[in-house]
Amino acid sequence: MAQQQMTSYDRRMHALMNRADAGSFRRSAARRRAVVCAHIALTAGAVAAWLATVVGESTWGVLVMFGLLVPWCVATGIINGTTRGLLELRPRALDERQRAERDRVRARAQQIMLWLLLAAVAGTGVAGFSGVEVKALVFQVMFCALVTHWLMPMWVAALSVRDEPADEPADGLA
């Protein structure tokens, strides 16, 4: 029934997110973990470069950000392909099982973010009590929390994808 309500945009995005190109990454949990770790490292590098540009007024950060942009986009595309667009497709392009999985992923990401925010508040509080100028830290911590909040569902979705069964032999013999 959901297929009947899909627009041409929904059909194109569904086809894009379900291409066979991501199959090699989709089949192995180790490969998915490696891509997620690479994406986290690329994100951390880009955030650090941006903060160095904004807070530290360093011009090299702009070059680093642009250098990390293409690999970050490739890793994001691989993650979206391994999750089959779970978080990118409109609800009408997903079946009931996928919508339930999307809700589980978002709930798990929210739980993780709760603990990360608690750690950020505690860390900033400890820094404030130890004499560090907290005003300088607040923007940086909040920006990192914003980026993490934005990307956490995608990371959780990629890490929670189940392995696909191996391809069956062509002649049907095992």
Please report the pLDDT score of residue 169 as a whole number.
53
Share of the chain above pLDDT 70, in %: 88
Please report the pLDDT score of residue 112 as a whole number.
97
CA distances from 140 to 39, 62, 92, 136, 137 (A): 20, 17, 37, 7, 5
Q: Indicate the pTM of the whole model.
A: 0.83
pLDDT greater than 50 at residue 2: no
Mean pLDDT over 68-75 rounds to: 95
Alpha helices in the chain (DSSP H): 2-5, 8-17, 23-26, 29-54, 60-82, 96-129, 134-160
**Weakest-pLDDT range from 14-18, 51-55, 117-121:** 14-18
Mean pLDDT over 41-64 rounds to: 91
pLDDT greater than 50 at residue 91: yes
According to DSSP, residue 20 is labeled: G
